[in-house]
Structure 1
Amino acid sequence: MPDRGEAKRQVMLDAATEVFSERGFVGANLDEVVAAAAVSKQTLYKHFSDKASLFREIVDQIGKQVDGALLELPDPATIEDVDAWIHTLALRFTRLVMDPKVQRIRRLVIAEAPRFPEVADAYWKGGFDRVLGTVGEHFRALTEAGKLRAEDPQLAANHFAGLLLWIPSNHTMFSGRPDVVTDEELQRFAKAGAEAFLRAYG
């Protein structure tokens, strides 16, 4: 279990995520973060040197959460029904990336990329690009096991993500509402994307 200091730090990160998501970087006020986390400013500055470092930490944490959820994929040898597995993976992947918290941070990172290009680059490399690498290596192993036909596994991983996320992610980005797409719609997009992927690579 995390110690009290780590637990308090997480509370501050969660509060800051909400404030930054609502206000953007420029509009975010650390007084609001302090109030939402029920801590003192002294406590906040003990963990984060300034607003920029707090923003960087939020982005880094979200990227790691997305990647961590997909790190443990099953051994291809244990997958008996690859079609069923691709459908399962598609729904997991879609729900993970379309999580409202992830989408809010994604929009924030895009908006603040000119101000914090290094943060945007780190988010891409440590988050979505790393996830695609994990999925690509999984597709490589499935291909080597004779269960997929992905000559370029990394390209296949990008196709997989695009088939699943093009509609809901764009709808979310342009609407400004991270919850605009329902879970029922996500299930439909995941199912259709998995079927299209299997027609190409199954």
Structure 2
Amino acid sequence: MAAEEDGRTARKRRQILDAAHAVFLRNGYVGASMDEVAAIASVSKQTVYKHFSDKEQLFTTIILDTTDQIAGLAKLVTASLEDGHDLDEGLRQLARAFLGALMQPDVLRLRRLIIAEADRFPDLGRTWYQQGFERSLQTLATAFGRLAGHGLRPMDDPQLAADHFVGLLLWIPVNKVMFSGGGDHYTEADLDRIADAAAEAFLRAYGG
């Protein structure tokens, strides 16, 4: 009986988080209301407050709830740059997957939201970056360090190499859509071309 009750509680909490995620991404922090979250989650407002004491706690929870999704980019690194794989092809695959993941509309809206609320929640933005995106960069740096002398030239600073690789991918397309409100400026073919060019430029700089 207790297990069944725990299951219902967990499901309601998940409903609330999913609803809050949609509401905050659509309306921002100031425009979001607990009433709307409750309505979309199909629970009472009292139930929302039973799980989350206020809007700030709910907002913090849904933002940190996404860090594993962003850190999941690290799995792309591991899969694409395993020892023995063709490095040129692995980097192209990684570049395409990385760019495609970060150009997803929900990810773009999430980044906009975190940036917009950085002054109000500076620790939250810092934590999200460290636990999410930075973890992927560290995994990429580790992979580049391992490949030094095995397809990549020896390097003193694999972390800088990882920053360069991701910078080549993200600087124009992600920044452009971040400021323009949508990802429809780029077709899949456009993104593949940008990713392939980034991988080629990186190999020219770091290839061994």
TM-score over 0.5 for the pair: yes
Alpha-carbon separation, structure 2, partners of 1:119 and 1:108: 12
Rounded Cα–Cα distance in structure 1 between residues aligned with 2:81 and 2:188: 28
Bigger Rg over Cα: 2
Q: Which of residues 85, 101, 104 in structure 2 aligns to 1:99?
A: 104
The answer as to 2:38 corresponding to 1:49 is no
Matched, 1:21 2:22: no
Q: 1:194, CA displacement in angstroms?
A: 1.1
Match of 2:171 among 166, 170, 185: 166
Instruction: Please say if residues 96 and 192 of structure 2, whose CA atoms lie closer than 8 Å, have aligned partners that are also in contact.
Output: yes
Calculate the TM-score normalised by the size of structure 2.
0.87
CA contact (8 A) 1:76 1:141 kept: no
Contact residue 172 and residue 178 of structure 1 kept, 8 A: yes
Query: Cα RMSD over matched residues?
Result: 2.1
Count of matched residue pairs: 200
What TM-score do you get using the length of structure 1 for normalisation?
0.89
Deviates most, 108-117 or 190-199: 190-199
> What one-letter code is carried by the residue in structure 2 that aligns with 1:123?
W
Q: Which runs of 5+ in 1 are unaligned?
A: none
User: Alpha-carbon deviation of 1:180?
Assistant: 4.4
- Cα displacement (A) at 1:42: 2.3
Give the Å deviation of 1:105: 0.9
C-alpha displacement at 1:75, in angstroms?
9.0
2:62 maps to 58
Structure-2 residue corresponding to 1:12: 16
Unpaired runs of 5+ in structure 2? 1-5
Quote the residue 1:156 is aligned against: 161
In the TM superposition, what is the alpha-carbon distance from 1:24 to its structure 2 partner?
Answer: 1.0
Q: Percent identity?
A: 49
**Shift, 1:46, TM fit:** 2.5
Distance 1:141 1:6, change over 3 A: farther
Over 3 Å counting, the alpha-carbon distance change for 1:77 and 1:32 in structure 2 is: closer
Which amino acid counterpart does residue 144 of structure 2 have in structure 1? F
Q: CA 1:75–1:92 in 2, change beyond 3 Å: closer, same or farther?
A: closer
Q: Quick one: which amino acid aligns to residue 148 of structure 2?
A: T
